[in-house]
Structure 1
């Protein structure tokens, strides 16, 4: 008798930050692979801060990239142009400017955690990607984060109260620490079915291969 074949979605845990352009690209590539193969994915987002010590006022993006990575103005511009082109091909708008700023994302992760209990973590994550990369908004600002909550159908006043009280801060910090202890040092990091860690944005074809592999795996008994 043949082994039973799974029909449920492939679970993908994604560790990422809302100011990580490759996290946007990786997710969009995964979504494209899911659509192309007809294999659904069950996505779970997990917090990671690329810049946990980023001050409240943020930092000019060009200056940040030069300081952190030693990138020249020319190479930084070329990288932004490349990401803009890739994003456009995936239906996402990266709208960089000379005034673009890197932001602290700790409160943004608290909003996602809160939204998750109401079944809106994925929508909130996507709205935050758009807020930062497309709209150039300050995703460290509680007022803006409350507005983002409203954009995805959540109560903005409740979101603001939650952020002001800091009631999710400890939980988010604990989750971040857990992923660091598991060796995650860069994002995006995707874990397929809790078995296979795939770092970086690997492309639609690579994700399609992984989805087929796990979709065709025998169902758990």
Structure 2
């Protein structure tokens, strides 16, 4: 009998571990096919919700945030670039990016979800930010991501110029903060079990098997 797994994935576009975590999740889901059937829904989280104005170069911003030196942050990011490369994820310009607000990007993910393209949109945004060091608060960049996934740019522009999905994004953020999610990625499995962090694919595979065994 096919096991059904529902995953609510809480993440931010500006979070490198979220991109790595999803790539590892893909590996885990593939390893369990066809015995498991997965349903995935993305949920919004902002690492820097109060960000306004011009972006700051990422290395000094992270160094200040974590109380580390820029060289330490550069070394940490190099490790992430290596991990991403092994997973086939483009992080080639992650050290050239700047801080930015991701609220509108989350709104477009919500819009894309209605057309069955939320994952494709999320991946396009990850690629724009980490692979190309583009500002994913810029509407031109966002519309280019829309074009890449084959969705209607005119309709997307209308979304960006309106307040559509504003409440949906805020509801996500409130819901998961109240549920105790303070770091991302966070995987809520079958609306009951929390897996925190960008776990290795093998770890996720075992977790899904254990959860299925508990619910049988």
Query: Which TM-score tier does this pair reach, normalised by the shorter chain?
Result: over 0.9
Q: Which runs of 5+ in 1 are unaligned?
A: none
User: What is the CA distance between 1:166 and its match in structure 2?
Assistant: 2.2
Using structure 1 for the length normalisation, give the TM-score: 0.91
Partner residue of 1:179 out of 176, 180, 188: 176
Deviations 1:117-169 (A, max 9, x none): 11111111111111111111110011211221111111011101111112221
Residue equivalent to 2:70: 73
2:99 paired with 1:112:
no
1:193 to 173, 181, 190: 190
Runs of 4+ more than 6 Å apart: none
Tell me the TM-score normalised to structure 2 length: 0.93
Q: Is the 8 A contact 1:56 1:140 kept in 2?
A: no
* Residues 13, 192 of structure 1: 8 Å contact kept: yes
- Name stretches of at least 5 consecutive residues in structure 2 with no aligned partner: none
**Cα shift at 1:214:** 3.5
SS of aligned partner of 2:161: helix
On the 8 A contact 1:142/1:164 being kept in 2, the answer is no
Alignment length (residue pairs):
214
Instruction: State yes or no: 1:121 paired with 2:123.
Output: no
**Bigger relative contact order (CA 8 A; separation at least 6):** 1
- Paired residue for 2:82, among 78, 85, 104? 85
Change in Cα spacing, 1:129 to 1:9, as seen in structure 2 (3 Å) is farther
SS of 2:43 mapped into structure 1? strand
Contact 1:120 1:152 in 2 (8 A): yes
CA drift at 1:37: 2.8
Structure 2 SS opposite 1:80: helix
Between stretches 72-81 and 210-219, larger displacement belongs to 210-219
Pick one of 182, 200, 205 that aligns with 2:202.
205
1: CA distance, partners of 2:153 / 2:79: 35
Say whether 1:166 aligns with 2:160.
Answer: no
Larger Rg, first or second structure (1 or 2): 1
TM-superposed deviation, 1:212: 1.9
Structure 2 counterpart of 1:157: 154
RMSD value, Cα: 1.6
Aligned positions of 1:37-56 closer than 5 A? 37-38=32-33, 39-56=36-53
* 1:122-141 equivalence runs, <5 A: 122-141=119-138
Map of 2:22 onto structure 1: 27
Q: CA deviation at 1:79?
A: 0.6
